Amino acid sequence: MTKSLLKIENISVAYGNIIALRNVSLTVAEGEIVSLIGANGAGKSTLLKSIVGLVPLSEGSIYYSDKNLANLQTFKLAEMGISLVPEGRRVFSDLTVEENLDMGAFSVKDEKLINKRKQDMYDFFPILGVRRKQKTRFLSGGEQQMMAVARALMSNPNLLLLDEPGLGLAPLVIQDIFSKIKQINKENNVTILLVEQNALMALRNSDRGFVMENGNLVLEGDSVSLLNNQKVRNAYLGE
Phi and psi dihedrals of 23, rounded to 5? 50, 55
Those residues with Cβ within 8 angstroms of residue 114's Cβ, 6 or more apart along the chain or in another chain: 102, 105, 108, 154
**What is the full per-residue pLDDT of the chain (239 aa) written as tens digits?**
478 999 999 999 999 889 999 999 999 999 999 999 998 889 999 999 999 999 999 999 999 999 999 888 888 888 899 999 988 767 878 899 999 999 888 878 888 999 999 999 999 999 999 999 999 899 888 888 889 999 999 989 999 999 988 887 788 888 888 998 999 999 888 999 999 988 999 999 999 999 999 999 999 999 999 999 998 998 887 65
Q: Catalogue all structural domains in the chain, each as residue range(s) with its CATH number.
A: 26-56+75-236 (3.40.50.300)
Give the C-alpha separation, 97 to 103, whole Å: 10
E-assigned strands of 41-125? Answer: 59-64, 67-68, 82-85
- Residue 206 CB neighbour total at 10 angstroms: 26
Burial of 95 (0-12, 13-18, 19+ CB in 10 A): middle
The CA angle 200-20-232, to the nearest 5 degrees, is 25
